[in-house]
Amino acid sequence: MKNIAVIGAGTMGNGIAHTFAQSGFTVKLIDISEKSLDKGMATIAANLDRMVAKGSITEDDKAKTIGNIITYTDIKDGVVGVDLVVEAATENVDLKLNIFKQLNEYCEEKTILATNTSSISITQIAAVTTRQDKVIGMHFMNPVPIMKLVEIIRGYNTSDEVTKTIMDLSVKLSKVPVEVNDYPGFVANRILMPMINEAIETLYNGVAGVYEIDTVMKLGMAHPMGPLQLADFIGLDVCLSILNVMYDGFKNPKYAPCPLLVNMVRAGKLGVKSGEGFYDYSESKKAEKVAAMFTK
């Protein structure tokens, strides 16, 4: 397995492409937007520059990694001859189902179809294909080039052979794969998102402020960043989407998103990506300044 296609050049997609390319794989990075592809490649180059500056890779390593990536704006062209496709599009079930219908049509019969979804059912995605045994979840963590974990999620019909292939492949990427079963939120987000949602509820109920909540969790629980800062980093729209998937999947009110989170997403306050969430990022990408609406 040497030829990989990655669907989506956003934060996760370009990180996945970077990781495969740096490990010596030929990567076809696919996005319908040429602008997104350019931005994704610029992000990969900037991340590689940081690695060069730290001495973890050489300029030659950087050049080889960039050289291993080819960009496409057409899925049909991009998936020709690949052994594995990793879909990393927006966390939207209809979009993902449409992509997998196309992949099933355009990809060779041998091709394994993986999704980087953080919460959507692998079984549901596989059901729109005629190769359910070859559909699997490959949930990377952000930032992909740095984070070691990959959640490997088996759909109802995913074969043992495909699961082993993807587990072994993850090790070749210097990652630590963990096999989990297909239930809403899997493991990572089933535990993480209720914590983030509870932090938002704590703010919403006036128990404490943004800085205070994050400080308690960082200093008291040894978390590297507070839950509100982490929500901003993930994207509040993504957090809301995952909570909705879990709420719909389990029909349990404990997964219902906090009204404050819903309103912030409606208002376009999505965190780092929009310049404001629980913190103000207009001057720095670091969570140093609490957003004005939470300082009143």
Binding-site residue positions for NAD(+): 8-13, 31, 91, 96, 118, 142, 273
Do 3-181 and 189-294 show the same overall fold? no
What is the reported pLDDT for 296? 76
Task: For residue 118, count CB atoms less than 10 angstroms from its CB and return exposed for 0-12, middle for 13-18, buried for 19 or more.
Answer: buried
Residues acting as catalytic residues:
118, 139, 151, 189
Residues in CB range of 135: below 8 A, 6 or more apart: 100, 112, 113, 114, 115, 122, 125, 126, 129, 155, 157, 158
Note the pTM of the prediction, 2 decimals: 0.92
Q: Which two tokens mark 212?
A: 């205070």
Q: Which two tokens mark 30?
A: 């696919």
- The CATH H-level superfamily of 189-294 is N-(1-d-carboxylethyl)-l-norvaline Dehydrogenase; domain 2 (1.10.1040.10)
Binding-site residue positions: 8-13, 31, 91, 96, 118, 142, 273
| Most distant pair of Cα atoms in the chain: their distance | 59
For 96, what's the count of Cα atoms within 13 Å in the CB-facing half-sphere?
26
Which residues in the chain show pLDDT less than 50?
none
Domain ranges for the chain: 3-181, 189-294
Amino acid letter, residue 149: L
3-state secondary structure of 175: coil
In DSSP notation, 24-77 reads T-EEEEE-S-HHHHHHHHHHHHHHHHHHHHHTSS-HHHHHHHHHTEEEES-HHH
Residue that is written with structure tokens 């209809």 in the block = 94
What is the reported pLDDT for 266? 98
Class of domain 3-181: alpha beta
